[in-house]
Amino acid sequence: MWLTRPLQERSTQVFLGVLFAALVVVSALHLFMPEDSALYVSSYTVTLLGKYLCYALLAVAVDLVWGYLGILSLGHGAFFALGGYAMGMYLMRQIGDRGVYGHPTLPDFMVFLNWQELPWYWHGFDMAWFAFIMVLLAPGLLALVFGFLAFRSRVTGVYLSIITQALTFALMLAFFRNEMGFGGNNGLTDFKDILGFDLRTDATRLGLFIATGIALAIGYVICRGIVTSKLGRVSVACRDAEARTRFLGYRVERVQLFVFVVSAMLAGVAGALYVPQVGIINPSEFSPLFSIEIVVWVALGGRATLYGAVIGAILVNYAKTVFTGIMPDAWLFALGGLFVLVTVFLPKGIAGLLQKRKKAETTEPTPAQEATA
Partner 1 sequence: MSIFEQLTDRDHVFEFLAPVQSPVDVRHGPILYLEDVSVSFDGFKAINNLNLTIDDGELRCIIGPNGAGKTTMMDIITGKTRPDTGSVWFGSRHNLLTMNEPDIATLGIGRKFQKPTVFEALTVFENLELAMAADKRIFPTLTAIMKAEYRDRIDEVLELIGLKDLRDRPAGILSHGQKQWLEIGMLLMQKPRLLLVDEPVAGMTEQEMERTAELLTSLAGKQSVVVVEHDMGFVRSIARQVTVLHQGSVLAEGTMDQVSNDPEVIKVYLGEDA
Site of interaction with partner 1 (CB under 8 A): 1-2, 226, 229-231, 233-234, 236-237, 239-241, 243-252, 254-255, 258, 367-369, 371-372
Residue 328 or 367 having the CB closest to partner 1: 367
CA dihedral 47, 83, 162, 349 (to 10 degrees): 40
In angstroms, what is the minimal distance from the CB of 141 to partner 1? 18
Residue 106 or 298 having the CB closest to partner 1: 298
Pairwise CA distance, residues 42 & 45, whole Å: 5
- Residue 16 CB: number of other CB atoms within 10 A? 17
Burial degree of 78 (CB within 10 A; 0-12, 13-18, 19+): buried
- For 151, phi then psi, to 5°, come to -75, -30
Residue 246 or 320 having the CB closest to partner 1: 246
- Residue 279 CB: number of other CB atoms within 10 A? 15
Residue 188 or 252 having the CB closest to partner 1: 252
Residue 22 or 236 having the CB closest to partner 1: 236
Pairwise CA distance, residues 69 & 92, whole Å: 37
In angstroms, what is the minimal distance from the CB of 63 to partner 1? 15
Pairwise CA distance, residues 339 & 315, whole Å: 13
Residue 236 or 332 having the CB closest to partner 1: 236
Which whole-number Å values give the CA distances from 325 to 30, 64, 321, in the listed order? 23, 32, 6
Pairwise CA distance, residues 105 & 179, whole Å: 18
Burial degree of 237 (CB within 10 A; 0-12, 13-18, 19+): middle
Which stretches of the chain are assigned E, i.e. beta strand?
188-189, 193-194, 197-198, 280-281
Residue 222 or 294 having the CB closest to partner 1: 222
Burial degree of 277 (CB within 10 A; 0-12, 13-18, 19+): buried
Closest CA relative to residue 91, chosen from 215, 272, 267, 216: 272
In angstroms, what is the minimal distance from the CB of 271 to partner 1? 25
Residue 97 or 240 having the CB closest to partner 1: 240
Which whole-number Å values give the CA distances from 8 to 1, 21, 57, 223, 235, in the listed order? 11, 19, 21, 15, 22
